[in-house]
A = this chain, B = another copy of it.
Amino acid sequence: MKISAGKLRNLIKLSDESGRFKMMAIDQRGSLAKILAKYAGGDPDNLPYEAMARTKEAITELLSPFATAVLTDPIYGYPYSVRHIPAECALLLCTEATGYDKAGPGGKERKSKMLEGWSVEKASRAGADAIKFLAHYSTEASNDARSHQHQVIRALGAECAKYDLPFLLEVVTYPIHEASVDTPEFARKKPGLVAECAREFSKPEYKVDVLKLEFPADLKYCYEYSRRVFDSKEREPIYDLEEVRGFCQTLDEASRLPWVILSAGVAIEEFIKDVELATEAGASGFLCGRAIWQEALTAYPDIETMKEYLESDAAYNFTRCNAACDLAVPWFDHSPFEGWDSVELAGQEPDWFMKY
């Protein structure tokens, strides 16, 4: 498998020496503001800049040493945190605006947009080793909403190719006909919806390099975990663990690209189970945010107590996640790659540098 220079060098940087991604996300904006406002009081839309930036700084400083790469945002994340990211930890920068535009009938559909005033070109200059974009996506959405997402992602894929940076696309499904994600109806649809995302964005036209996917089921609706294993609510099971293993397998087959699992704010015990099941099926690791560090925020605005939590429990969460993906499939062993020995530079010849 031939791969271009920047994509090859940077995929190596994002993963560990075995080709596994053990990455942390601290690029949350809207969702983080809500949590901080909950603990400190006040309006999430009017949180002081420093509240977000210093919280991200503490999390980045204390947890990035555990990560093969850290994903942050250019607004609150980069300015204070960049000096704390170790040399051996790669840097991903997000490019989407937080949230989404409501679209479709009843405003139940979602359109993503780029962060204004920011670009792949700027991220490249700022030392990003990869570009991340978050898109909400449902095959049940209207043509209009889906086409919008296709178009935005295709354009970004072309930009990433231009700067030769790996493109990591996060795709998150959402309920259109259901009251919320935490319903048996949505939980039942999830395996299919997530697999469709993987299938769609594996298409070469989007030029994605790594997919960041949801776990393709809601384990809280899984027979074995339905009785308050992960939270205090008992739920009617709709599938069992054997079926969930099948969903993971289907997802891995749908993804023609290396993929990692995201945490979507689930608690750490559930996320570790997600990682185990996903990597068993073929995922190449994780890109995890809140599951690892969200408990630290309960101490906010007491930064010192937050730091104590980050150095102890959150660090332990991270080492457990890392351990859970120790048998993940290295990115170069996942389709479209065919093993490390077959990974080589596109145009590997004496005049490579002239044609590049």
CA distance A58 to B164 in the complex (A): 26
- Pick the residue among B68, B125, B344 that contacts A356 (CB under 8 A): B125
Q: In the complex where A6-B125, A12-B85, A85-B12 touch, is A74 in contact with B353 (Cβ < 8 A)?
A: yes
Q: Does A45 contact B (CB under 8 A)?
A: no
A87 adjacent to chain B (CB < 8 Å): yes
Q: CB of A75 within 8 A of chain B?
A: yes
Query: Could you say which of B87, B351, B352 contacts A78, with CB atoms under 8 Å apart?
Result: B352
B-binding segment of A116-124, A203-211, A273-281, A283-291: A116-124
CB distance from A309 to the nearest CB of B (A): 24
Contact assessment for B85 and A87 in the assembled complex, using a CB-CB cutoff below 8 Å: no
Write out the residue numbers on chain B whose beta carbons fall within 8 Å of the beta carbon of A354: 116-118
Say how many copies of this protein the assembly contains: 2
Which one, B14, B16, B88, B127, contacts A5 given CB within 8 A? Answer: B127
A83: Cβ under 8 A from any B Cβ = yes
- A315 contacts the other chain (CB 8 A): no
Q: Does A99 contact B (CB under 8 A)?
A: no
Binding site for B on A (CB under 8 A): 5-6, 8-10, 12-17, 49, 68, 74-76, 78-80, 82-83, 85-88, 90-91, 115-118, 122, 124-127, 129, 163-164, 340, 343-345, 347-354, 356
Q: Is the CB of B350 within 8 A of A87?
A: no
What is the CA–CA distance of A75 and B352 in the complex, to the nearest angstrom?
Answer: 7
Chain B residues with Cβ below 8 Å from A13 are 87, 127
Report, nearest first, the 5 A-B pairs whose CB atoms are least far apart. A9-B127, A88-B88, A117-B354, A74-B353, A5-B126
